[in-house]
Amino acid sequence: MPLGHLVREYQHGESLESIRSHYPTSSLEQVCGAITSFLGHKSAVEGDIAGRERKEEAYSAAHPAPPDLKVKLKRVRQQMQARRTWTGRESELRAEPRGRIGLL
Examine the pLDDT at 101 and tell me if it is beyond 80. no
- What's the pTM? 0.57
- Quote the pLDDT of residue 75: 92
Q: For 9-16, which contacts have Cβ atoms below 8 Å and span 24 or more sequence positions?
A: 10/35, 10/38, 15/90
Exposed e or buried b per residue across 60-89, where buried means at least 16 C-beta atoms within 10 angstroms of its C-beta: eeeeeeeeeeeeeeeeeeeeeeeebeeeee
Examine the pLDDT at 91 and tell me if it is beyond 90. no
Other C-beta atoms closer than 10 Å to the C-beta of 35 total 17
Domain check: are 32 and 72 in the same one?
no
Examine the pLDDT at 98 and tell me if it is beyond 50. no
How many domains, the chain? 2
Residue 86 belongs to domain spanning: 65-104
Helix or strand run (H / E) with residue 84: helix 67-85
Residue 47: pLDDT band (50, 70, 90) is: very high
Domain check: are 6 and 55 in the same one?
yes
